[in-house]
Amino acid sequence: MKRNNDTFNTTDTLFNKNGDLVNLILQIRNTTRALIIRNGHILLIRKEYDNGEIRLAFPGGGQETDETLAQALNRECVEEIGTEVKVGKLLHVADCFKPRDTVPLSTRHLVEFFFECTVSEDYMPCNGYHPDKHQVAVIWKDITELTQTDIFLPALSHYSNRDKIDNGSVYLGKFH
């Protein structure tokens, strides 16, 4: 895959000097993400890294063989946030090119499926029985502060200051 002026405009580290994608893992992986909003807050996973970096992530993860997207999302949420979710409508789909910390460095192409989800009213944020690597907590984050975190995706900005999820473009394009 060659880079052109319209592709991956801020992902220079993923490309060599000829514009080729560096060490792209050939298999595309489907991932599911839960967008859970309640009372002006969004449920996120907090990750801390050895270098001191803190990142926030949507609950969810990779789809396994013979699993529907909804089944994968529910399994991942039980593992990460300690509860089942009610999976609602598909909100967004996006291509993500995720750099991987491998030797040599590699890039994985993910197709991210964002679903509207809810948790029970009495849910208290906690890690599930199998949290992600570097996961230290599950938090309700004030949605008005979302732009100030590493999780922020510009295509999701229309959720700021809203408790309800509304219709927008389903395909978000590519992000990293």
CATH code of residue 79? 3.90.79.10
- CA gyration radius, the chain: 17
Other CB atoms within 10 Å distance of the CB of residue 72: 20
Backbone angles phi, psi at 115, to 5 degrees: -115, 145
24 secondary structure, DSSP code: B
pTM: 0.80
Domain count, the chain: 1
- Predicted local confidence at residue 12, as pLDDT: 43
Q: Classify residue 52: in a domain, yes or no.
A: yes
Rounded CA-CA distance 158/141 in Å is: 16
Q: Residue 67: which domain range? A: 32-95+115-147+168-175
Reference 151, options 24, 38, 60; nearest CA is 60
Residue ranges in the chain modelled with pLDDT below 70 = 1-16, 19-22, 147-168, 175-176
Question: What pLDDT shows up at residue 1?
Answer: 43
